[in-house]
Structure 1
Amino acid sequence: MSMSAPVATDPGWQSRLRNAPQQLRSQAKIEQAVDAADRLLSRGGANAVTTTRVAAEAGIAVGTIYRYFPDKEALFDALAARCLARFESLMDALVEQSRTEKWADPVGMLFDVYTDLYRTDASLRAIWFGGLLSENLRVADRAHKRVMAQGLRHILVAQDIASDAPELATVCHAAMLASDAITQEAFRTSDSGDSALMAEAKTMLRSYVASINERFTPA
């Protein structure tokens, strides 16, 4: 995927490192290692990811891997943190876009953009559906959903669907939780996603957004 963020900028992930990177060269080696783990996970699943294989794939010494990552679970944590950062970067871009464009079908547009990330990123699917999420990342994921909900709130206001109000934060959080749960179920057993389930999700979310418009009618 084109949108990515440096994995070591995530404080929850960085706490899993043996040593925090202090130089750009060290940061680059961490990125190399995580990129290598990403490729291995995409090609062969969780069992294909070992520190030895990651080192060989990245072209760096095994000792360098161990210098920063105590175990392969820490590599999975870094990959998951990068996935969350990609979603948030995409949401930031969509918020800016929503301020200059009028969308005919905001729900369909947003839902399709995000399901495309699941469809095109094998590592994302492997981490979320392969039992690779640590408890730290489950906590981070809950915080991530609130960040995404805040982005949705900005979009609804920018698109003149809702006037801003404190209660809108909870409404958008509920929408994000529902959307995320159905999306994950749609991709749990199919790399391309269950198209019928996703179509129903869009129908449901359009109705919810219509109710938001009634409750928070812009002035």
Structure 2
Amino acid sequence: MSAQTTIDIAAEPAVSLRNEPVQARSTARLTALLDAAASIVDEVGIERLTTAMVAERAGASIGTVYRYFPDRIVLLQALGARNFERVMARITEAIKDPAQSDWRGALSTAFSSVIDTYRTEPGFRGLRVGDQLDLRPLPNGRTHKSLVAERLVEALSARFGVENSAASRFTLEAGLEMSDALVARAFLMNPQGDEEFINVSTSAVRGFIAERIGW
């Protein structure tokens, strides 16, 4: 299939906000609140974030925060959903890249794009795509990583003919879980990532995928 084939990787269903933004001003206000939350997560983590801190950082009233988010958990879920959408956009771009001639290279680049997201996306190091909140399961009992794995396999199947099977999806999901644990550790103290942990993650995931479905 052509490298220019459109690959649609759907994002997670949107978090239900108290008021959905319908005007440009409302959308900008919501973006400012999420940007403020992301910067606070980078500084103090998800446990210490409060809605008052977000309001102050965004230059908004606490009432404005509650207009969209009934509590801090929904706010964090919304930030996790945004992180999910943005990392999936990077993964999509990596798989569609015409420079990739086979699925192995595309998948390797996709994993690298996730690591790059840790470095460049505010709030991603502390929250990632929201799995660690463990509050509201996705439909059919899936996690965010199982959804990422499902979309990855669909995209690789569409472009490179990779088998779209339960075994392939499980392998990708397990690989994502392994990578996430090691890469999260790599960025725990270093905003640029500890290269030793990143290299171990890359090697371990490559070996695991190679053993199960070939790399």
Residue equivalent to 1:205: 205
1:67 is the counterpart of 2:67: yes
State the match for 2:194 in structure 1.
Answer: 194
Q: Given that residues 91 and 151 in structure 1 are in contact (C-alpha distance below 8 angstroms), is that contact kept between their aligned partners in structure 2?
A: no
Please list, as runs of the form range in 1=range in 2, the aligned pairs for 1:67-216 lying within 5 A after superposition: 67-97=67-97, 101-102=100-101, 105-106=105-106, 108-127=108-127, 133-136=133-136, 139=138, 142-154=142-154, 156-157=156-157, 163-166=162-165, 167-211=167-211, 212-213=213-214
Q: Which amino acid is 2:214 matched to?
A: N
- In 2: Cα distance, 1:27 partner to 1:83 partner: 17
- The one-letter code sitting in structure 1 at the alignment partner of 2:54 is V
In 2, distance between residues paired with 1:165 and 1:111?
A: 19
Question: Structure 1 residues 45, 210: closer, same or farther in 2, change over 3 A?
Answer: closer
The 5 A counterparts of 1:17-32 are 17-32=17-32
TM superposition shift of 1:196: 2.0
Judged with a 3 Å threshold, the aligned counterparts in structure 2 of structure 1 residues 47 and 155 are, in CA distance, closer, same or farther, namely: closer
Question: C-alpha separation between the residues in 1 aligned to 2:132 and 2:150?
Answer: 27
Distance in 1 between the 2:50 and 2:76 partners?
A: 11
Q: 1:27 to 1:174 in 2, by over 3 A?
A: same
Shift of 1:24: 4.0
Aligned counterparts of 2:188 and 2:66: Cα–Cα separation in 1: 32
Q: CA deviation at 1:159?
A: 7.6
Q: Which runs of 5+ in 1 are unaligned?
A: 1-8, 215-219
Report the TM-score when normalising by structure 2: 0.70
Aligned positions, number: 199
Unaligned runs of 5+ in 2: 1-10
2: CA distance, partners of 1:45 / 1:184: 13
- Indicate conservation of the 8 Å contact 1:95/1:154, yes or no: no
Contact conserved, 2:42 with 2:123, CA < 8 A, in 1? Answer: yes
Q: Which runs of 4+ in 1 moved over 6 A?
A: none
> 1:63 deviation in Å?
2.0
Q: Cα deviation per residue 1:72-93 (whole Å; 9 max; x = unaligned)?
A: 2322222111111111111221
Q: What is the Cα deviation at residue 135 of structure 1?
A: 0.9
Q: Is the 8 A contact 2:153 2:168 kept in 1?
A: yes
User: Residues 52 and 174 from structure 1, CA distance in 2 versus in 1: closer, same or farther, beyond 3 angstroms?
Assistant: closer
Q: Which residue of 2 aligns with 1:5?
A: none
**Structure 1 residues 75-115: Cα deviation after superposition (integer angstroms, max 9, x where no partner):** 22221111111111112212211x55326855653333211
Q: Distance in 2 between matches of 1:187 and 1:142?
A: 26
Task: Report the AA paired with residue 150 of structure 2.
Answer: Q
Q: Which has the higher helix share?
A: 1
Match of 1:13 in 2: 15
Paired letter, 1:213: G
C-alpha separation in 1, matches of 2:55 and 2:164: 50
